Chain A
């Protein structure tokens, strides 16, 4: 079974631009979550989508948004990029509905975003 894939793997943008990152979950997984990883803040939860609906949202400004398609693929968008948005963005998928005790996530390799 193929793992979680993320595209692109590396991205360089300048301040003020916007960017779209893509995530394809493991086949059959309906939950997709996004995390931002930085040296200063560590791993922080951005949002989770389940069956095309945003179910959870972290404490990030509205410049960060996402969506999920009917095939469970997800995209996240960051508008008006700031230097501080430079980070590794990780996508994770799960086949758990999230209503029980097991929240196991399977992570992709990440997209490294650099904002200049």
Chain B
């Protein structure tokens, strides 16, 4: 079945550091890929998405590129801020399979001054 593997956390960075959170997937066909963010006490917010190979999703300085050859969708940000502290989830949606999302385990990011 479909699955998503993302790097274990927690990840602790200093403000303005470079961020990478790795995400790889296993799926039949060509799924859509998403990064969601969850702030303490809140639900999930869509951060960015890519629906086909080589697409780059971007939002709020975060980027991720859909790499079919490596089945990856790594999240990057050039300069993190304290306000980026949250849990980040990589997810996939099977094409034509309804709106079910399969999530990774989440990576907690803590950014310190």
Contact = CB atoms under 8 A, between A and B. Distances in A.
Contact of A43 (B46, B89, B97): B89
Interface residues of B, number: 28
Contacts, number: 82
B99 A103 contact: yes
Interface in A54-93: 55-56, 58, 90, 92
A107 B99 contact: no
A90 B44 contact: yes
B68 interface: no
Interface size class of A (residues with CB under 8 A): 20 to 34
Interface stretch (B69-77, B78-86, B100-108): B100-108
B62 to A, nearest CB: 16
Contacts of B106: 42-43
B46 A104 contact: yes
Interface string B88-101: 01000111111111
Q: Tell me which of A99, A100, A107 has the highest count of chain B C-beta atoms within 10 A of its own C-beta.
A: A107
B32 interface: yes
Contacts of A35: 101, 103
Given A56-B98, A100-B96, A108 B43 contact: yes
Interface of A: 4, 31, 33, 35, 42-45, 48, 50, 55-56, 58, 90, 92, 94, 96, 98-110
Interface of B: 30, 32, 34, 36, 41-46, 49, 51-52, 89, 93-106
